[in-house]
């Protein structure tokens, strides 16, 4: 489901990231201990009073160089104006209203987007009086918050949620597989869309940033209906967008949320860079079926070990997605292109697969017999039974005598045994441990 987008904008050191982390709360901790996931992130999910939204911390976007601060602020504001449905303009009660704040305000005022003004670092009653000067910016009532102490964040969320738009959901039948192509600019996403469709439906150029916006393209192949969601890379307008790879994460995230299957496109000629891990990490966190597509394979110098070595590099870099298959192809020459859609269809089926409870428990019983849970201070976890509660992604609840005794390594062992028995290629599996008395 697509969510409205909220962006936090403001000059450096006003505490954007602190407030961002407050809003997304526990969600970061879900994957912190997964090996290989890049820890710094600028995109998260917030929820308040039953409303869910994506939130961008533009403080995560920085430009190199000492003289780039104003340019960076301007870029952040422009990104927010492009991407966001609601903009949180963050200021700082400690330093008061500055010229930089006024410059950002001028930019935001022209955007026509709903603005919520938040004044951070209101850590005591004395500073609470400092928020009144921010009325001068013309965005209505400033909301005093303390990101470090959590004060006022509820009021801020109330104001955000009040301004969120109701998004219309696109209507697709249940059997349509929605496929998002994500990746850094210039890895060949649009060329790949064109190759799959067999016609020039998406503008393609070798200059990074020529895709104008996300485009949905329905098509049918071998009796299966698909919708391709081509994520816009960087906007062509404005060189400032080409200075930061992180911008592509915002675009990718929007497409991921609407997809069943995510194709993580990697430039085979350039190899893997850190930004590829950022983007893949969001597909994992969103619980989407995934496959890696190594494009431009026609121009890679290779021998009989090149493909195997490249796949091993993917496994080493993306330790949290060892379940995702890898397809090597060339969108330009269509080499190996015929292998892609069968993989997409297969991982979509695994993503939607439901395992009968008695079969699942047989596998878990065998796994426990082979390798019993380790003891912790003389106590051993006892697994009563497990059941799959939902699909997309397959989600399994394991009922035990004490959830605190479930170690991450043993959870991973169980997941591996479940995969060995039921495939689940291309899809994450969510395992949750519950006390038996918690059931129902």
Whole-number Å distance between alpha carbons of 53 and 391: 22
Gap between the Cα atoms of 397 and 143, Å rounded = 41
Query: Do residues 224 and 343 share a domain?
Result: yes
22 marked as binding residue: no
Q: Is position 398 within any domain?
A: yes
Asked if residue 169 belongs to a domain, the reply is no
The three-state secondary structure class of 388 is strand
Q: Is 16 annotated as a binding residue?
A: yes
Within 13 Å, how many C-alpha atoms sit on residue 259's CB side? Answer: 35
How does the average pLDDT of the chain come out, rounded? 83
Structure confidence by residue, pLDDT tens digits, 222-236: 999 999 886 654 333
Q: Would the annotation count 267 as a binding residue? A: no
Q: What is the mean pLDDT of residues 359-378?
A: 94
For Cα atoms 223, 227, 229, give the angle at the middle one, nearest 5 degrees.
Answer: 155
Instruction: Report whether 298 belongs to an annotated binding site.
Output: yes
Is a pLDDT exceeding 50 seen at residue 409? yes
Looking at the fold, whether 285 and 432 belong to one and the same domain comes out as no
Q: What is the pLDDT of residues 370-401, one digit of tens each?
A: 999 988 888 999 999 999 999 999 999 999 99
- Is 111 one of the annotated binding-site residues? no
**Are residue 195 and residue 59 in the same domain, yes or no?**
no
Q: Are residues 186 and 275 in the same domain?
A: yes
Q: Does 320 share its domain with 231?
A: yes
Q: Is residue 422 part of a domain?
A: yes
> pTM, whole model, 2 decimals?
0.75
Are 299 and 401 found together in one domain? no
* Residue 144 marked ligand-binding: no
DSSP β-ladder status, 395-400 and 383-390: antiparallel
Cβ 90 vs Cβ 8: under 8 Å: yes
- Domain end (from 105, 137, 163): 163
Predicted confidence (pLDDT) at residue 41 exceeds the cutoff of 60: no
Least confident of 12-21, 162-171, 349-358: 162-171
Q: Is residue 171 part of a domain?
A: no
Is the domain of 274 the same as that of 407? no
Q: Would the annotation count 11 as a binding residue?
A: yes
Residue 67 assigned ligand-binding role: no
Q: In terms of domains, do 130 and 196 share one?
A: no
The two tokens of residue 99 are: 């010229």
Q: Domain of 233: which CATH number?
A: 3.40.50.300
Boundary residue ending a domain (105, 131, 163)? 163
What is the C-alpha to C-alpha distance for residues 29 and 33, in angstroms, rounded to an integer?
Answer: 8
Same domain, 58 and 148: yes
Q: pLDDT category, 30, cuts 50, 70, 90?
A: very low
Say if residue 240 is in the same domain as residue 315. Answer: yes
The distance of Cα 292 from the centroid of its chain, to the nearest Å, equals 16
- Per-residue pLDDT, averaged over 95-111, amounts to 87
Of the residues 288, 320, 351, the one at which a domain ends = 351
**Would the annotation count 348 as a binding residue?**
no
pLDDT digits (tens, 9 = 90+) for 264-304: 999 999 888 877 887 788 889 889 999 999 999 999 988 88
106 belongs to an annotated ligand binding site: no
98 annotated as ligand-binding: no
Higher pLDDT, 40 or 42: 42
User: How large is the average pLDDT for residues 132-137?
Assistant: 94
Residue at 170 is within a domain: no
- Is 416 labeled as ligand-binding? no
Q: Per the structure, how many domains does the chain have?
A: 3
Q: Is residue 172 part of a domain?
A: no
- Summarised one tens digit per residue, pLDDT across range 185-204 is 778 888 898 899 886 555 45
In the sheet with 383-390, reading across from the earlier edge strand, the strands are 383-390, 395-400, 430-435
Confidence of residue 251 (pLDDT cuts 50, 70, 90): low
Banded pLDDT at 215 (limits 50, 70, 90): low
- Residue 12 annotated as binding? yes
Q: What per-residue confidence (pLDDT) applies to 63?
A: 47
Q: Is 190 annotated as a binding residue?
A: yes
**345 marked as part of a ligand binding site:** no
Please state, in angstroms and rounded to a whole number, the distance separating the CA atoms of residues 263 and 182.
6
CA distances from 428 to 81, 260, 314, 418, 431 (A): 34, 12, 17, 12, 10
Tokens of 199: 């016609």
When computed from its CA atoms, the radius of gyration of the chain, rounded to whole angstroms, is: 24
297 is in an annotated binding site: yes
Residue 373 annotated as binding?
no
Confidence band (pLDDT; 50, 70, 90) for 205?
Answer: very low
Bigger pLDDT: 400 vs 82: 400
What are 223's two structure tokens?
A: 């009796």
48 marked as part of a ligand binding site? no
- The two tokens of residue 418 are 């479940």
- Rounded to an integer, the average pLDDT of 5-20 is 87
383: CATH: 3.30.300.20
296 labelled as ligand-binding? yes
Residue 60 annotated in ligand binding:
yes
- Predicted local confidence at residue 58, as pLDDT: 76
Inside any domain, residue 330:
yes
Regarding whether 135 and 187 lie in a shared domain, the answer is: no
- Domain of residue 424 covers 357-438
The verdict on whether residue 361 carries a ligand-binding annotation is: no
180 in a known ligand binding site: no
Q: Is residue 15 annotated as involved in ligand binding? A: yes
Residue 206 above 80 pLDDT? no
Q: 104 or 135: which carries more pLDDT confidence?
A: 135
> Do residue 247 and residue 318 come from a single domain?
yes
pLDDT of 130 reads: 84
Residue 249 pLDDT grade (very low, low, confident, very high; cuts 50, 70, 90): low
- Give a yes or no: residue 29 inside a domain: yes
């Amino acid at each position: 489901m697509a969510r409205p987008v909220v962006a936090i904008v403001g000059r450096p050191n006003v505490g954007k990231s602190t407030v961002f982390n407050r809003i997304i709360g526990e969600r970061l901790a879900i994957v912190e201990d997964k090996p290989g996931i890049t820890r710094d992130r600028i995109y998260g999910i917030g929820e308040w009073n039953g409303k869910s939204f994506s939130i961008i911390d533009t403080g995560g976007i920085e430009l190199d160089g000492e003289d780039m601060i104003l340019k960076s602020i301007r870029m952040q504001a422009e990104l927010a104006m492009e991407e966001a449905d609601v903009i949180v303009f963050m200021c700082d009660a400690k330093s008061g209203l500055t010229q930089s704040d006024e410059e950002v305000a001028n930019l935001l005022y022209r955007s026509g987007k709903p603005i919520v003004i938040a004044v951070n670092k209101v850590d005591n009653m004395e500073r609470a009086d400092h928020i009144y000067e921010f009325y001068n910016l013309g965005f209505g009532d400033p909301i005093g918050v303390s990101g470090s102490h959590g004060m006022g964040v509820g009021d801020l969320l109330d104001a955000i949620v009040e301004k969120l738009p109701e998004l219309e959901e696109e209507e697709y039948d249940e059997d349509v597989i929605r496929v998002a192509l994500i990746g850094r600019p210039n890895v060949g996403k649009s060329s790949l869309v064109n190759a799959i469709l067999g016609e020039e439906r998406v503008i393609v150029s070798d200059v990074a940033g020529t895709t104008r916006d996300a485009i949905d393209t329905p098509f049918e192949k071998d009796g299966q209906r698909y919708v391709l969601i081509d994520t816009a890379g960087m906007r062509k307008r404005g060189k400032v967008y080409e200075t930061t790879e992180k911008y592509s994460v915002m675009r990718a995230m929007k497409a991921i949320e609407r997809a069943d299957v995510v194709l993580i496109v990697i430039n085979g000629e350039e190899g893997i860079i850190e930004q590829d891990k950022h983007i893949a990490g969001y597909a994992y966190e969103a619980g989407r079926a995934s496959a890696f597509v190594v494009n431009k394979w026609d121009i890679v110098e290779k021998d009989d070990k090149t493909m195997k070595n490249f796949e091993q590099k993917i496994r080493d870099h993306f330790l949290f997605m060892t379940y995702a298959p890898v397809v090597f192809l060339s969108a330009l020459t269509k080499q190996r292109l015929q292998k892609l859609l069968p993989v997409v269809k297969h991982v979509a089926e695994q993503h939607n697969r439901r395992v009968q409870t008695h079969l699942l428990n047989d596998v878990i019983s065998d796994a426990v017999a082979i390798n019993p849970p380790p003891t912790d201070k003389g106590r051993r976890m006892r697994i009563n039974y497990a059941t799959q509660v939902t699909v997309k992604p397959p989600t399994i609840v394991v009922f035990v005598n004490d959830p605190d005794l479930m170690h991450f390594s043993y959870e991973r062992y169980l997941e591996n045994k479940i995969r060995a028995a039921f495939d689940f290629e291309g899809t994450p599996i969510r395992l949750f441990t519950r006390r038996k008395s918690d059931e129902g």
